[in-house]
Amino acid sequence: MNREVVKTDCATARIPELDFEIPAFTQKGVLTTIEGIIDRAIAGLEQDQPVRRATDKEVANKIEEFIDKLKQLKEVHFPFTFILDDPSGNSFVENPRAPQKDDALVVTRYRRTAEQAAMLGLEGEELDEKPADSAEDLRNEVLQFNTNCPECNAPASTNMKLVQIPHFKEVIIMATNCDSCGHRTNEVKSGGAIEPQGTRITLRITDPSDTTRDILKSETCSVEIPELEFELGMGALGGKFTTLEGLLKDIRELVERNPFTLGDSSVPSKMKKLQEFLGKLQENVYAPEDDPELRVERYQRTFEQNEELGLNDMRTEGYEPEGAPGR
Ligand code: ZN
């Protein structure tokens, strides 16, 4: 249940034992776990249950039964099969025993049908579009290298995969699992080049459903919640492809684990502020505005920001971005 899963929006997820299917293009791409996928399905079905109970009791009861079955899956009352079928080849299920063989996991590569190619917008271009650059070759394989566990320092291995996340850019997902202490991390790094300008994205959270929005936070991005006077510096959490809820959870864990992240001293007033912050995070951040509003601003980086990115010593004039849009 804890295996990491990358499911792109063109992938179909199936659990044949339950006759259950999440068809392609009904969900955005997610980086989650098998449990996360089941949770999302349960949440989706539960959403309209109060209305159904009022209008069609029979259907509501049937759906309730199915929700119970999904919940049983999470307890693994019986063995079941999870099938992820992605004609784009970009979905991924983690092998927790890597680099050892994973007896529970079968990966089958197949040639796309004409219909699948058309669905992906690859019609007729498939032959011309075979790019020869190394980034493209890397795309379909999981690379592995040896690292040390950040928690206990035992030798561990990191799996790396280049993924084109729909509506986002190309990113590199790196997952490290420690056999020694069980520590797991996953990190998302930008695969493309640094953009000519910085980006500031302001999201007004007006509805609890906003917490399910997908968020791609690069490793050089800082996060601010002005209502809580909270600021997370550049690089504190690394890169993440998650939902707003997932990001808030990560922030909470980070703050709980290491209160010093927020500053270099632990004076009593700072600790008090922290406790308040954790309390407010638990209640879910909710701003009482009427209109959800997302603002994206491009801005010129300051000298200090360029310094942090190591760009001041580099020639940035006439620069060609690698990950040209529309690939
Ligand atoms: Zn460890």
pLDDT tier, 157 (very low <50, low <70, confident <90, very high otherwise): confident
Interval between CA 177 and ligand 1 midpoint (Å)? 8
Does the pLDDT value for residue 199 go beyond 50? yes
Interval between CA 65 and ligand 1 midpoint (Å)? 40
Rounded average pLDDT over 146-165:
77
Rounded average pLDDT over 6-28:
86
Interval between CA 176 and ligand 1 midpoint (Å)? 10
pLDDT of residue 34: 93
The full DSSP string for 93-142 is E--TTTTS--TT------PPPHHHHHHTT-TTTTTTT---SHHHHHTTS-
pLDDT tier, 308 (very low <50, low <70, confident <90, very high otherwise): confident
Does the pLDDT value for residue 73 go beyond 80? yes
Please tell me what DSSP assigns to residue 311.
Answer: -
Rounded average pLDDT over 297-323:
67
Interval between CA 249 and ligand 1 midpoint (Å)? 22
Rounded average pLDDT over 13-25:
88
Interval between CA 236 and ligand 1 midpoint (Å)? 20
pLDDT of residue 314: 58
- Pairing status of strand 4-7 against strand 143-148: unpaired
pLDDT of residue 81: 94
271-281 pLDDT, tens per residue? 566 567 666 66
Which of 81-90, 215-224, 243-252, 258-267 ranks highest by mean pLDDT? 81-90
Which is more confidently placed, 325 or 53? 53
Contact indicator for 94, 105 with CB cutoff of 8 Å: no
38-54 pLDDT, tens per residue? 998 898 888 888 888 88
Which is more confidently placed, 195 or 59? 59
Which is more confidently placed, 193 or 82? 82
220-233 pLDDT, tens per residue? 888 888 877 778 77
pLDDT of residue 82: 95
Mean pLDDT of the chain: 75
pLDDT of residue 317: 47
pLDDT of residue 59: 87
Interval between CA 4 and ligand 1 midpoint (Å)? 18
Interval between CA 191 and ligand 1 midpoint (Å)? 27
Does the pLDDT value for residue 13 go beyond 70? yes
Q: Which range (241-250, 252-261, 263-272) has the least confidence? A: 263-272
Rounded average pLDDT over 185-202:
76
- Pairing status of strand 30-33 against strand 4-7: antiparallel
Residues 141, 147, 151, 152, Cα dihedral to 10°: 130
Does the pLDDT value for residue 130 go beyond 70? no
Does the pLDDT value for residue 305 go beyond 50? yes
Interval between CA 173 and ligand 1 midpoint (Å)? 19
Interval between CA 184 and ligand 1 midpoint (Å)? 8
Scored b (16 or more CB within 10 A) or e, 105-138 reads: eeeeeeeeeeebbebbebeeeeeeeeeeeeeeee
**Is 8 exposed, middle or buried (CB count within 10 Å of its CB: 0-12, 13-18, 19+)?**
buried
pLDDT of residue 168: 58
Distance CA 68, CA 130 (A): 46
Interval between CA 155 and ligand 1 midpoint (Å)? 8
Interval between CA 7 and ligand 1 midpoint (Å)? 27
Interval between CA 252 and ligand 1 midpoint (Å)? 21
- Residues 6 or more apart whose CB falls under 8 angstroms from that of 10 comprise 24, 25, 86, 87, 88, 119, 120, 166
Interval between CA 183 and ligand 1 midpoint (Å)? 5
Distance CA 286, CA 211 (A): 10
pLDDT tier, 15 (very low <50, low <70, confident <90, very high otherwise): very high
pLDDT tier, 193 (very low <50, low <70, confident <90, very high otherwise): low
pLDDT of residue 35: 93
Interval between CA 157 and ligand 1 midpoint (Å)? 11
Interval between CA 98 and ligand 1 midpoint (Å)? 15
Which is more confidently placed, 133 or 105? 105
